[in-house]
Amino acid sequence: MPATKRLLLICVLAVTSLAAAGALAGTYLDLEDQIQEFTLDNGVHFIVLEKHDVPVFSFRTYVNVGSANEIRGITGLAHILEHMAFKGTSEIGGSDLKNELKAMAAEDLAFEDFKKARLELIPRIEKLQSKYDRLVGGIPADRRDSYGEVEAKIHDLGSDIAVDPSGKLTITHAPGMENEEVENFDLSGEEIAAVDFYVDEIRPLEQEFAEKEQEFEDAKDAAREFVVTNEFGQIIEENGGHGLNASTSSDVTRYHYDFPSNRLELWAYLEGSRMADPVLREFYTEKDGPVTEERRMRTDNNPIGRLIEIFQNQMFMANGYHHSTIGYMSDINNISRADCAEFFKNHYHGGNMTVAVVGDVKLNDVKKYAQKYFSAIPAGKPSVVETFEPEQLVEKRMVMKDPSQPLYIAGYHIKNVNHPDWPVYQVISDVLGQGRTSRLHKRLVKEDKLAVTAACFSGYPGIKYQSGMLVFAVPVKGKTGYDLEGVVNEEIQKIVDEGITAAELEAVKQRTRADFIRGLRGNGGMAEQLAFYQTYTKDWRNLFGEVEEIEAVTLDDVKRVAAEIFVPGNRTTAIIETEEDAS
């Protein structure tokens, strides 16, 4: 931190709160001096804070890539790749690498075949199916039930079927052998036509598709023969790893766990090799299984998740925030291992990686093991997304009718985290919608008793690119999203017209100071903050500058920025309107 900046910080603190400034300056400025850092030749940046009270350490690996870096066709890939980072390396997770790679290559071919079949055959089948449905529609109503049985029979039999002109359904065997009668349904002319159409036109395509699918399944099984299931996680677990997890957002991918400090070298080996030398094994199994299930759980089976995805699509039209991190189902289906390897190569390199280690470690040990195990990661330039979100100009509004409970969301475009107005956004969203004294809570929850929750935050869905300020409110039983909308807008307009009070601004500053200190406690919390600021602002020292930036916000800043963002043309609104169940 430049000396002038620090001086300024101390001055600002001294002016606003003498006692607090003394206490703060005495602690976290010292802390800042204890933080050390180094960069490997390949660009991987390490930040280390030694804390020796308990023999454990926490780390965060931040990879500067998220779903915003995906282009159409590969949405969901950053998240899939995060899953793949638990599948091991050329040394971990497989029993016979050479043969495994062969089996994986065969699996890739089978996938391409299957994908081709899906993209070509399914539309053809669907087209024929609608023709078939018309044929079935011609069957008299009183025969529909019995025809349903015929259909079921045909599907059950699964073998070759023929129908003779007298209306008998038969199983056909190899040429020359006599056909075998199944059951005489006494089929009428229309029914015979329908069965014929199905047997001649649709079934061959269905069978071809089923074959491709089976070949793909077989290839997956063959590749899985060489997998030592979850070996990577198991090593961490049996060595006492704690809190093993990872997450992907629009902006970044994070990996973390805590380890006993005598396993620093083992950690460096595990973390370095999964970033340098991953084997993308079980790629299709993971994609078709857990990743797909996760999409179902978060989005398809969750009414709010469904709305949020559409909301995001509508609010952000151009930049990387347009699509959700989980990705579109068809992209999840179509992404290949080659796509994944390509994405990995483009983004998982030294220029995109920050590792923060906090705990009972020594800088020199971290350096030594980092050199040894992270140097194989290739160098590269930090990933950037160059499509900017254009100005919105038109107000957007969407209503989802759903049997679930009602909801109100509104989003306003704001600039990104490195813009000078970012702290002003934070002040505005804090006063508007954080905590029990926020304006939305006081008005909607406490006074008008219209909502159970009413809140606002800046940084949706990410903060790296042009971002959003989100307001959301959940109505009390019996009220609708529409009931909340007018009141929310009224409260927002008050800020535009009158700004906020000096007391409100002072309270935000006080809370920021307190939360800042709380955030520094614990190894994991500290590692998280360091890696976060390094990744987003290119310098972890900005962690210590955040309080100062908030301190500098004035009442006029708030009025100016509120007038800029809170205009209808910058707003996207979404409402869930509860639809009574048809039953």
Nearer to another protein, 124 or 511 (CB): 511
- Report the half-sphere exposure of 166 (CA within 13 A, side-chain side): 5
Residues between 286 and 325 with contacts to another protein, criterion CB under 8 A: 288-290, 292-294, 296-297, 300-303
DSSP class per residue in 145-162: HHHHHHHHHHHHH-S-EE
Which residue of 46, 114, 185, 269 would you call a contact of another protein, by CB under 8 A?
Answer: 269
In the complex, minimum distance from the CB of residue 238 to another protein, in angstroms, rounded to a whole number: 4
Among 19, 141, 174, 177, binds another protein (CB under 8 A): 19
Least distance CB 321 / another protein (angstroms):
26
Any bridge partners for residue 396, and if so which?
572
CB of 471 to another protein, least distance (A): 18
Two structure tokens written together for 574: 């979404």
Distance CA 529, CA 535 (A): 10
Question: What is residue 522's DSSP assignment?
Answer: S
CB of 142 to another protein, least distance (A): 26
Residues 50-79 that bind another protein (CB under 8 A): 52-56
Nearest CB to another protein, comparing residues 68 and 84: 84
Q: In whole angstroms, how close is the CB of 552 to another protein at the nearest point?
A: 18
Query: Which is nearest to 78 in space by CA: 250, 312, 245, 318?
Result: 250
Residue 230 binds to another protein (criterion: CB under 8 A): yes
Least gap, CB of 249 to another protein (angstroms): 20
* CA distances to 23, 178, 256 from 520, in Å: 15, 82, 17
Closest approach, Cβ 224 to another protein, in A, equals: 8
Give how far Cα 141 sits from Cα of 133, 145, 372, Å: 14, 8, 76
**What is the closest distance, in whole angstroms, from the C-beta atom of residue 387 to another protein in the complex?**
32
CA–chain centroid gap for 523, Å, is 25
> Count residues contacting another protein (CB under 8 A)?
84
Residue 115 CA, chain-centre distance (Å), reads 24
**Nearest distance, CB of residue 151 and another protein, angstroms:** 18
3-state secondary structure of 165: coil
Near another protein in 236-255, by CB under 8 A: 236-242, 244
Long-range pairs for 228-237: beta carbons < 8 A, 24 or more residues apart: 228/88, 228/92, 228/93, 228/94, 228/95, 230/86, 230/93, 231/88, 231/92, 231/93, 232/86, 232/87, 232/88, 232/89, 232/92, 232/93, 232/270, 232/274, 233/86, 235/92, 235/266, 235/270, 236/270
> 58 or 570, CB closer to another protein?
58
562 CB-near residues (< 8 Å, 6+ apart): 428, 492, 495, 496, 499
**Least spacing, CB of residue 545 vs another protein, in Å:** 18
State which of residues 95, 262, 364, 554 lies at the interface with another protein (CB under 8 A). Answer: 262
Contact stretch for another protein (CB under 8 A) within 65-73, 173-181, 403-411, 543-551: 403-411
Identify which range of 48-56, 141-149, 421-429, 480-488 contacts another protein by CB under 8 A: 48-56
Region near another protein per CB under 8 A, out of 113-121, 433-441, 465-473, 556-564:
433-441
Q: Which token pair is 439?
A: 């304006």
Q: Which 523-552 positions form the footprint of another protein (CB under 8 A)?
A: 523
Q: Tell the smallest beta-carbon distance from residue 301 to another protein (Å).
A: 6
Rank residues 52 and 345 by Cβ distance to another protein and give the closer one. Answer: 52
- The tokens for 109 are 């071919």
Q: Please report how close the Cβ of residue 119 comes to another protein at its closest, in angstroms.
A: 23
DSSP state of 552: T
Nearest to 46 by CA among 219, 267, 212: 267
Contact mark string toward another protein, 101..140, x via CB under 8 A = ----------------------------------------
Between residue 144 and residue 203, which ones bind another protein under the rule CB under 8 A?
Answer: none
Task: Give the shortest CB-555-to-another protein separation in angstroms.
Answer: 16
Q: Binding another protein by CB under 8 A: which of 16, 99, 234, 314?
A: 234
Binding residue (CB under 8 A) for another protein from 398, 520, 552, 567: 520
**What is the sign of the dihedral through the CA atoms of 103, 109, 112 and 117?**
negative
From the list 208, 203, 205, 201, the residue with the least C-alpha distance to 113 is 208
Decide whether 133 or 237 has the Cβ nearer to another protein: 237
Given the rule CB under 8 A, which of 20-28, 185-193, 530-538, 539-547 is the region that contacts another protein? Answer: 20-28
Closest CB to another protein among residues 251, 528: 528
E strands, 364-486, in order: 396-402, 407-414, 451-460, 467-475
Instruction: Give 258's strand partners.
Output: 58, 242
Considering only residues 453 through 492, tell me which ones interact with another protein, judged by CB under 8 A.
474-477
Which range touches another protein (CB under 8 A), out of 101-109, 191-199, 259-267, 530-538?
Answer: 259-267
91, 266 Cβ separation under 8 angstroms: no
Q: Which of residues 436-455 bind another protein (CB under 8 A)?
A: 436-437, 442, 445-446, 449, 452
Interaction residues for another protein, span 561-580 (CB under 8 A): 580
Tokens linked to 261: 């400090």
The interface region with another protein, picked from 24-32, 106-114, 150-158, 565-573 by CB under 8 A, is 24-32
Q: Which stretch binds another protein (CB under 8 A): 33-41, 121-129, 322-330, 509-517?
A: 509-517
Structure tokens given for 158: 């699964």
User: What DSSP element (H or E) covers 574?
Assistant: strand 571-578
Q: If we measure between CA atoms, which residue out of 471, 487, 37, 59 comes closest to residue 256? A: 59
Minimum gap (Å) between residue 70 Cβ and another protein? 22
Q: Is 174 left (phi over 0), alpha (psi -120 to 50) or beta?
A: beta
Distance in Å, CB of 45 to another protein, minimum? 24
The amino acid that residue 311 corresponds to is F
The end-to-end CA distance of the chain, in Å, is 65
